[in-house]
Amino acid sequence: MALYEALFLALLVGAHAELPGCKIRVTSKALELVKQEGLRFLEQELETITIPDLRGKEGHFYYNISEKVYEFLSTFITSGMRFLLNQQICPVLYHAGTVLLNSLLDTIPVRSSVDDLVGIDYSLMKDPVASTSNLDMDFRGAFFPLTEKNWSLPNRAVEPQLQEEERMVYVAFSEFFFDSAMESYFRAGALQLSLVGDKVPHDLDMLLRASYFGSIVLLSPAVIDSPLKLELRVLAPPHCTIKPAGTTISVTASVTIALVPPDQPEVQLSSMTMDARLSAKMALRGKALRTQLDLRRFRIYSNQSALESLALIPLQAPLKTLLQIAVMPMLNERTWRGVQIPLPEGINFVREVVTNHAGFLTIGADLHFAKGLREVIEKNRPADVMASTAPPPSTAAV
């Protein structure tokens, strides 16, 4: 009976285990590139070693051996000389390899700010899985509002899968990755826009005043010529849908039209609901995931009655134009800045290919060392190490 209970609990835990929002596969091609760059770094380290000339006396025998003849005399030198070489070279190899690995890992952001509103969590969900040809890593891949760092969105999306091996690196993002970003900005209060007075395009201002002339003419003269206010406020976190045909973002927002007389309460003329669908194209530039948004579908309707919804039809085209010329550029300016993905500093993606699947997308790319490993290590090496980079002595043989 205890066995069945343990099995049931294990299945229950597994069913509620959090899924990764981001996966990364490093293929053997990338590992070979890193290996070659690492060997180049070690060669540079060894070039900095200076072994002093050996001078001494053994009985009636005097010796003076310079560094240039060590290799020629390697089969004749004594065990004491081998000990000296081990003292000099082995610690450098060990030290260089350790510093290289730690320095690269230290440059990978785990939990960092994206901007002044939102951060991202790239915590590893479990130990990396290594095979003969790949290294697979599962990351949480979740955004969060900086004012609510302990908040987290439940991940109910499809788990991303990685099958490809042709490129050096593959990165997979589930719908959860993008949904957590949009909900974080929603909770941070960023998904709203207010245009007042001169900020409202002139043609739209005239059209709105004409559309609501019957309501405006009944107001007091002090209010009739007041500045117009157009406010858009997203009502619920937008949702991302990824299909093989493409990626779409669904948004529902309120649109409020009002007059804003100076030093008086605003006078609301109308309130409507807007449904919009945006297409999203993803790309990797450097090591940032960037998004280009485009407005595809748009409709407005009244919260009051079907009759009022019919009256809003003339406003549909100009409001869509307003979104395209005023709102979409602001959104794309932010989304095209992108968000960093977990990749060591000095390494960038090149020649990327984006593939959509049901519930997730993958991006395959090759790697490019934008910086040498020595530059990466020197930049990230602590101050106390910078002051003294000499490795500790060791008696271990190579």
Q: For position 188, what pLDDT does the model report?
A: 93
Would the pLDDT of 295 be above 60?
A: yes
Distance (Å, whole) CA 273 – CA 301: 5
Most confident of 134-138, 240-244, 298-302, 371-375: 240-244
Report which of residues 386 and 177 the model is more confident about: 177
Distance (Å, whole) CA 215 – CA 247: 41
Would the pLDDT of 153 be above 90?
A: no
Would the pLDDT of 386 be above 50?
A: no
> Which residues on adjacent β-strands are paired with residue 228?
259
| pLDDT tens per residue across span 5-22 | 444 444 444 445 789 999
Would the pLDDT of 4 be above 60?
A: no
Confidence label for 290 from pLDDT (cuts 50, 70 and 90): very high
Q: For position 380, what pLDDT does the model report?
A: 55
Report which of residues 96 and 275 the model is more confident about: 275
Would the pLDDT of 277 be above 90?
A: yes
Residues 6+ apart with CB under 8 A from 226: 259, 260, 261, 262, 267
Distance (Å, whole) CA 372 – CA 102: 15
Sheet with 142-145, edge to edge strand ranges: 111-113, 118-121, 142-145
Most confident of 129-133, 137-141, 205-209: 137-141
Report which of residues 126 and 101 the model is more confident about: 126
| pLDDT tens per residue across span 353-373 | 999 999 999 999 988 877 666
CATH architecture of 111-368: Super Roll (3.15)
In the chain, % of residues over pLDDT 90: 25
Hey, where are the domains in the chain?
Answer: 111-368
| pLDDT tens per residue across span 225-253 | 889 998 999 999 999 999 999 999 999 99
pTM of the model: 0.75
Q: State the angle between helix axes of 202-211 and 313-322 in degrees (0 to 180), rounded to the nearest 10.
A: 160
Name the phi and psi angles at 325, rounded to 5.
-95, -20
Closest CA to 342 of 67, 112, 161: 112
- Alpha-helical segments (H) within 48-193: 79-106, 175-187
Distance (Å, whole) CA 358 – CA 202: 44
Would the pLDDT of 70 be above 80?
A: no
| pLDDT tens per residue across span 302-327 | 877 777 778 778 888 888 888 888 88
Report which of residues 85 and 331 the model is more confident about: 331
Would the pLDDT of 88 be above 90?
A: no
Classify burial at 278, counting beta carbons within 10 Å of its beta carbon; exposed 0-12, middle 13-18, buried 19 or more. buried
Distance (Å, whole) CA 340 – CA 120: 9
Would the pLDDT of 270 be above 80?
A: yes
